[in-house]
Chain A
Amino acid sequence: MDEALRRYQLDIARAQVSRRRFMTLAALGASGAVLAACSPSGSNSQAPSASAASSAAPPSEGPSESPSAAPVETIGPLESDLYMFNWSDYFADDNKTAFEEQFKVPITYDTYPSNEELLAKLQAGGKGQYDVAVPTAEFSKTLADGGFLAKLEKGKLPNLAKVNQRFLTLPFDPNDDYIVPKDWGTTGIIYRGSVKEPVTSWADFWKLATTTYSGKTLVVNSPGDVFVAPLRMHGYDVNTTDTAELETARKDLLALRPHLQSIDSDNYPDTLRSGDAVLALAWNGTAYLMQQEDDYKDTGYTIPTEGTIYWVDTWVLLDQAPHPNAAYTFLNWIQDPAVQVIESLYAGYASCNDDAKTLLPPEFVNNPAVYVPDAQLAELSVSTDQSGNTQRADIWAEFLAG
């Protein structure tokens, strides 16, 4: 199975995956779970009932394994459509095909480029037009407070029990009323192979950025991520609102500013590829993607020893969803470990699902650019939405102005 998955992963990296390739993989029959994910649900295609939904769980899963707290509820007859609102290229084509074949529910995939635009679309009469969407976890609170999300009936989502506790009861959704974790990752340090100096901490990053790699360092244009580095270097909480602590961060940031090649979230992977910058405060996914390319195999990614933040992207059920039953079926099905494996390899991000982690190839799971090593898990914290903090906003504006 590893061999097959490895090949699949390679294909993904080369963007050459076809549906046929996936079917070949499934036909290898290496994993019963993979098979279960793409096998037809049975003859009842017009109105599959809850049994169809729960049959998505692989047969190997015994009922005794981590039962959900809520009693399992049945999902009503499936509607004929599912409207998904998502980031571009953030749902595996093979999973889309598998879901459509299994449940006979075609998925319509619309995209948005940022959380803010998702919100704007929903505010501008988008309510009732989509079933599921994918906000970043901290943004789901804004959406929930705005009344755009439907409270989940957890009895319809038995597969939620497979999700690691780390990604549940997050501060943005303490009762798990709204979110189904999708995948997760970290903010850390990406460095090109040419960087021979040790890079293990934010302090290393700061030192190298202001000396050897002055003018060759970039940071993403995202205050929530960039603030983490100076705050953790001084041992402060990443979500601090303390005036003095933020002032310390401000001094550090302004000292770093003249050494930066760019402050940019859109083009930075290309900036790193071209070598204009060799050191970056950025997201793990970019490092993973670069490692899949022949020219950039030696790209490194560090989770700094002082600690950093992790982000979680989440599936949510939208308020007034036109196809709630199809949506519930989907939200439960997507947490199936086999589905998660394909999802994870497609996006290059870690799955929030523990069962999926055991099915993924070891070099994927052991790559710090994908999964955080167990030893460093304790160093992670989750960031809350700080966009309302005027001191941070002011420091960030000053930082950008230079």
Chain B
Amino acid sequence: MALASAPAGAVRSGASRRERLLTALLLLPAGAWYLGLLVAPIIIVFVYSFGTRDPNGGYAPALSLDNYAIVFQRPAPFITSILLALSGTALCLLVAFPLAYFIASRAGKRKGLLIILLVIPFWTSFLIRTIAWLTILGPRGVSGILEGITGRDIQLLGTPIAVLIGIVYNYLPLMVFPLYVTLERLDRTLLEASKDLGAGRWATFRQVTLPIIWPGLITGSILVFIPLMGEFVIPAILGNGKVFLIGNVLSLDFLSSRNWPAGSAKAVVLIGIMLVSVTFYLWITNRGRKTRDVSVL
């Protein structure tokens, strides 16, 4: 929207002022939304994180770093969350890429049908779909079958594996669609040209396909990674209360201990981790892309 007013900026006239007013009006709802529901809450959380717990729970003003000290004394949930988010994103990518590639390039007439099939499960509530995995992975499901085969007592529920399965299942479309959109736009003639110039399959993939789908890959990864860091429901259901992520810590602090400042400090650290890791990710992927551009030339 800022771009829309840019050409008019060259001529300072009444028309441009009106246009700027229009721009401001158009930006107002989104701006108010971001200020009121994103910026203001983050500021509140930041201020609270230096406070102390009111004797009856909640927030009492103070100026201390104790809440941050606790975070670094007990980093386990943060580490578990980061590991699970990273492996979840990687697994989603591994599953989503072949699927998106198949739908975009090989599905032909069935393309629309496959897309619909991918979306249909999401007409059912997220909670119900996750709870359904309790049965699938439980003793009367996969665990029971594995037990029958190996003869050993195998429990999937309550392990990070169960949580990971639930994560990949629920987050897969967030990865498939951005990948599909970029693969769909992939110009097949470029692949043929690459072949004509003597590149093998792997070289073509690495030097032609990958750079083109790169934006979709980055978008998909970020779309999966960021909400995964705050995931709370899937570990609560499939983890039997034994897989403990930042989201679960936050709910414990805010609801059970009613220690808002402690929860706020953890939320601030979480936001910090996200900012740093996403910035780092974008930096490293963009840098990689530039060098590749050069090598292609």
> Using a CB–CB distance below 8 Å, which chain A residues touch chain B?
114, 116, 142, 145-146, 215, 221, 223, 260-264, 267, 274-276, 387-388, 390, 393-394, 396-398, 400-402
Contact = CB atoms under 8 A, between A and B. Distances in A.
A397 B258 CA distance: 14
A276 B252 contact: no
B244 A145 contact: no
B70 interface: yes
B162 to A, nearest CB: 12
Contact of A401 (B77, B155, B158, B255): B77
Contacts of A394: 70, 73-74
B139 A116 contact: no
Interface residues of B, number: 32
Interface stretch (B53-61, B107-115, B203-211): B53-61
Given A264-B241, A401-B74, A274 B155 contact: no
A264 B244 contact: no
B249 interface: yes
Contact of A215 (B55, B134, B153): B153
Top 10 closest pairs, chain A to chain B, by CB: A262-B240, A263-B241, A401-B244, A401-B76, A393-B257, A264-B241, A400-B244, A145-B56, A221-B241, A387-B257
A131 to B, nearest CB: 23
Contacts, number: 78
Interface string B44-60: 00000000010111000
Contacts of B56: 142, 145-146
A261 B259 contact: no
B235 to A, nearest CB: 10
A229 B223 CA distance: 44
Contacts of B70: 390, 394
B258 A387 contact: yes
Interface string B256-296: 11110010000000000000000000000000000000000
B242 interface: yes
A387 B55 CA distance: 10
B240 A261 contact: yes
A396 B240 contact: no
Interface in B117-144: 134, 138-140
Given A221-B241, A260-B242, A263-B242, 18 more contacts: A116-B255, A116-B258, A145-B56, A146-B56, A261-B155, A261-B240, A262-B242, A263-B241, A264-B240, A275-B139, A387-B258, A388-B257, A388-B259, A393-B252, A394-B74, A397-B74, A398-B74, A400-B252
Contacts of B55: 388
A336 to B, nearest CB: 34
Contacts of B244: 397, 400-402
Nearest to A219: B241
A49 B19 CA distance: 71
A401 B80 contact: yes
Interface centre among A215, A260, A400 (most CB of B within 10 A): A400
A263 B242 CA distance: 6
Contacts of B77: 397, 401
B170 interface: no
Contacts of A215: 153, 155
Contacts of B255: 114, 116
A402 B242 contact: yes
A145 B56 CA distance: 8
Contacts of A397: 74, 77, 244, 249, 252
A387 B252 contact: no
Contacts of A146: 56
B248 interface: yes
A393 B241 contact: no
A398 B76 CA distance: 8
B252 A262 contact: no
A257 to B, nearest CB: 8
Q: Which of A142, A221, A387, A397 has the most CB of B within 10 A?
A: A397
